[in-house]
Structure 1
């Protein structure tokens, strides 16, 4: 009876165990654990591979940029040297150890209409910790970086202040000459052919010099040419307003090449010179050296012409920034007198840039100022001029000319609001030291020679 009771209980317990499915959870979990661990392990391996690939890409980008700079200085570098330099730069920059040895190759294409290019590629493999259990002992990684330069040609107009305050033993004129020469050489070093970079130089004071050899040019007018009975007055309007006699002159042979501001509103526009929009000849005693129109920066002879113009600058006269900017803008114009810029090739992109350096506030133009003190009325003309330069091209809906401005403020003047507002964002360079002039020109050179990276 006792045995039968035990057997009966055992049957009931067995029957309950057969009907109970709670233990299946453990069995299911045990079965699912293997692929679950596989997915987690794969995520870890892929994460390590992605980190290695990201580090590789960053190192390839930097290596491509560095090699391109070397090629800018030495475009005849051999293919072996290009690859060796790329490997050296990459190895110095790549710090991720997951991929072990990376194979680096490089290729270089010289200047075409699309520019010069250097391509640096890298490939390697990351050993797996988990995926090797399912037959994947490693994950391959690879990437590349291409740097292109020279596909954008440049036209650069440099308006340089040569007023009296730039001289007088201050060292500013020499610092400007050295810095401007450095920019010319930098732009020249990155030119591969005559058409790549053109530079014009516009020395300005109260007026500019267009060259006495242009005395018979149709774009000149002579109603401001002459002298006042009282020499203190520079312009016809000033002379007559002071009750003095204006003595008109017809002797063009005595003209020193100077012109004053165009009649308003043409002083702030880029109208072709005809009728009242022509340039008024004037006999200004402090006439700066003549404008040099667009000149190629390619080749030693052209560089010598450009730097020779810079070296010959001297300082004298009052400050009229608008006339310097207006003439810089004029030299950027294609096929239009005076100083027409060369035609542009439709197969290339172009950047037109205007750089103006001045060490003081505006003191005198044709109508306003006394030549010694700051004139906000001259500033107002400059604001109108800058607004016109910055107008969007109706065809491209973009600004045609990039503006850089430099204020050399060694005399404690206030910050030039007009120079700051004229500059495009990030392109205003104020300096209170002569050494800062070089820094400003270097920054502008880096901006103009900015390389673009494509992946």
Structure 2
């Protein structure tokens, strides 16, 4: 048997041969695992770097352009990428990365080549690894309520600005809309809006312009407003000490008449009666008038005179004939004949009316205001009340501002700490309370034409009744801002801008009333809860309140505000002394603190912007504490205000990876 035959027949050492034969598959299995682990690790790190770069680039871009500031957004994206993936990591080479932007979306791609370690034995020398990433701003279902200071100081100009603060605010709000809604407006915002907004996402905006009041009355249901309310007003009294109830009509008298012919054409003579007598002397009748129709309705009515008496004049017409007579002898007897001209008789009447007026009684009086209610949530523009001169009926207009419901009364001139927590009887600070039918839970219309801040014969203000025949001055200040707007969608910029352009500056600064109604209009559990709780499809909603003011609280004790006229009504301060402006300011500031906390506790993000350089240190501290964490901004001028509003919109948009 030859050598090969013996080797074939010899089984000694077979195990070694079999192990050697199986080594290569085993090496491939282990080597593949090692290299696959390296590939996974490199791809994961590369993907993280790409994602981080895209996010950073989109955040740097914000609402601006990709190429702005020497392509700052792109260089930021690449820099963050390099921090997260150092070139050459894990033996990689030929790193390629690229970031670009389109329609507000930042897209990135990256690739590297890594060498194989074990698998190179099997002919696999290198592996190219590629990743892609996207990042863009996307918003969830979002409600934004603007609470905007439109007080008189907003008519001023910040140093260095070329326009008023109110116009700067209008531009900033429009730029906010551009950044969030992705719709261009007429405002100059630095760049056109980038990106897109998913139409399936609900985005709503609401507005509460405020000064010393808010104009929210016509947003309310009729049954949320009282039927009668107390006002610092007046009524006219007669000499018998009864209320003047208009004018009592005097007796009408005819002061003159006038015969007016339709033409001067006489009719033919005709016999009138039978002939008689032998002479016509003394038998011819005097000219006469015969009425042929009814007296007309009065016309040309006029009223003269002023005061307690008035003279009313008017005229009437009545058709008739004017007869002229003659006598002629017929057969020796006198025959009377007549002819006529057709026309009318004009009668001029006069009547003297009197009120019996003696004096006015000024005081806190009750008036029926239910005439403003037009049913459901409809409203009329005015009521009629007997507060005109000498008790005459006067039209009392309503512009939509309201007086608050039951409030808390400070009695020691030191309101610090009294609103934390909010007192249970301060219904006016309860954001969600729905009127229950009692007047204490309802609102009342502010009616400046019904109000007088009274004073005595020495000119001193007084809460006592004042009786005088004089027509006192109104003695109060009043401002009612642009009507507030509930949350709604603005699919076009034109309707959004139309509202913003109606804002105008007037009045003092009561921050509490603006914040209160901003919260009421957006709360998901209050008077408008059914409209605000969810989207029509049941989706959750994120809520943001943007509160902008240009200064400190400014109050007045003779301002007609959402709590009446403070010196006379004393609803928030002790009853036995008229409050000064400093006490009222302290009350408003304490209420503002409490309301800020209440708003934030409702899961509403509260953004606060202080505008201008006239805000005191104390006011800035109040505003900063009012804001949600890291949500306070300071803008010294309009350009910064616009930038702040754009930044807030970008923060609300929420930066998200989309791939």
* TM-score exceeds 0.5: yes
Alignment check: 8 A CA contact 1:333 1:340 kept: no
- Quick one: which of 467, 470, 485 aligns to 1:292? 485
In the alignment, which residue of structure 1 is the partner of 2:613? 410
Alignment-derived partner of residue 257 in structure 1: 400
Secondary structure of the corresponding residue to residue 207 of structure 2: strand
Secondary structure of 1:191 counterpart: coil
Separation in 2 of the partners of 1:104 and 1:278? Answer: 62
Rounded Cα–Cα distance in structure 1 between residues aligned with 2:87 and 2:442: 69
One of 253, 266, 276 as aligned partner of 2:427: 266
Measured after TM superposition, the shift of residue 174 of structure 1 is 0.9
SS in 1 for 2:507: coil
Q: Distance in 2 between matches of 1:244 and 1:256?
A: 24
Which position in structure 1 is the counterpart of 2:246?
none
Alignment of 1:105-144 (within 5 A): 122-127=110-115, 137-138=125-126, 141-144=129-132
Q: How does 1:373-412 map to 2 (within 5 A)?
A: 375-391=585-601, 399-412=602-615
* Pair 1:433 & 2:597 matched: no
Gap runs ≥5 in structure 1: 1-38, 74-86, 111-115, 230-242, 392-398
In the other structure, the counterpart of 1:167 is 155
Q: 1:431 to 1:120 in 2, by over 3 A?
A: closer
Q: 1:454 to 1:338 in 2, by over 3 A?
A: closer
Looking at structure 2, the residues matched to 315 and 103 of structure 1 have their Cα atoms a distance apart, in angstroms, of 53
The secondary structure found in structure 1 opposite 2:206 is: strand
1:305 Cα deviation (Å)? 2.0
Q: 2:510 aligns with which of 320, 323, 334?
A: 320
Q: Which residue of 1 aligns with 2:548?
A: 357
Out of 197, 201, 208, the position equivalent to 2:214 is 208
The partner residue of 1:311 within 486, 501, 513 is 501
Larger Rg: 2
SS in 2 for 1:100: strand
Superposed CA offset, 1:395-423 (max 9, x none): xxxx5211111112422522423321121
Query: Residue 59 of structure 1 aligns with which residue?
Result: 50
For 2:105 and 2:640, how far apart are their aligned partners in 1?
33
Which aligned pairs between 1:171-186 and structure 2 lie closer than 5 A?
171-186=164-179
Cα-to-partner distance string for 1:114-139 (whole Å, 9 max, x where unaligned):
xx999866554223689857966335
CA distance in 2, matches of 1:412, 1:94: 42
Displacement after TM superposition at 1:88 (Å): 12
What is the DSSP-based 3-state SS (H/G/I as helix, E as strand, rest coil) of the residue aligned with 2:617? Answer: coil
Q: Are 1:278 and 2:442 matched, yes or no?
A: yes
Q: State how far apart, in whole Å, the 2-side matches of 1:227 and 1:159 are.
A: 30
Q: 1:371 to 1:429 in 2, by over 3 A?
A: farther
Kindly indicate whether residue 391 of structure 2 is the aligned counterpart of residue 187 of structure 1: no
Q: Find the partner of 1:419 among 607, 623, 629.
A: 623
Task: Pick the structure with more helix per residue.
Answer: 1
Cα distance, 1:449 vs structure 2 = 1.0
Q: 1:372 to 1:359 in 2, by over 3 A?
A: farther
Give the 3 Å change call, closer, same or farther, for CA 142–348 of structure 1 in structure 2.
farther
| Count of paired positions | 372
| Partners of 1:293 and 1:340 within 8 A in 2 | no
TM-score by length of 2: 0.48
Matched, 1:220 2:225: yes
Residues 93 and 195 (structure 1), Cα distance of their counterparts in 2 relative to 1, 3 Å cut? closer
Secondary structure of the structure 1 residue equivalent to 2:596: helix
Please report the RMSD computed on the Cα atoms of aligned residues, expressed in angstroms. Answer: 4.6
User: For the residues of structure 1 that align with 2:580 and 2:611, how far apart are their CA atoms?
Assistant: 21
Q: Is the 8 A contact 2:54 2:106 kept in 1?
A: no
Deviations 1:215-257 (A, max 9, x none): 872212366564456xxxxxxxxxxxxx972344435412111
Q: What residue ranges of structure 2 are gaps of 5+ in the alignment?
A: 1-30, 65-73, 159-163, 183-195, 235-360, 373-381, 383-396, 408-425, 449-477, 556-561, 564-571, 574-578
SS of 1:405's equivalent in the other structure is strand
Give the conservation status (yes or no) of the 8 Å contact 1:268–1:382: no
Distance 2:581 2:154 in 1: 14
Q: Residue 100 of structure 1 aligns with which residue?
A: 94
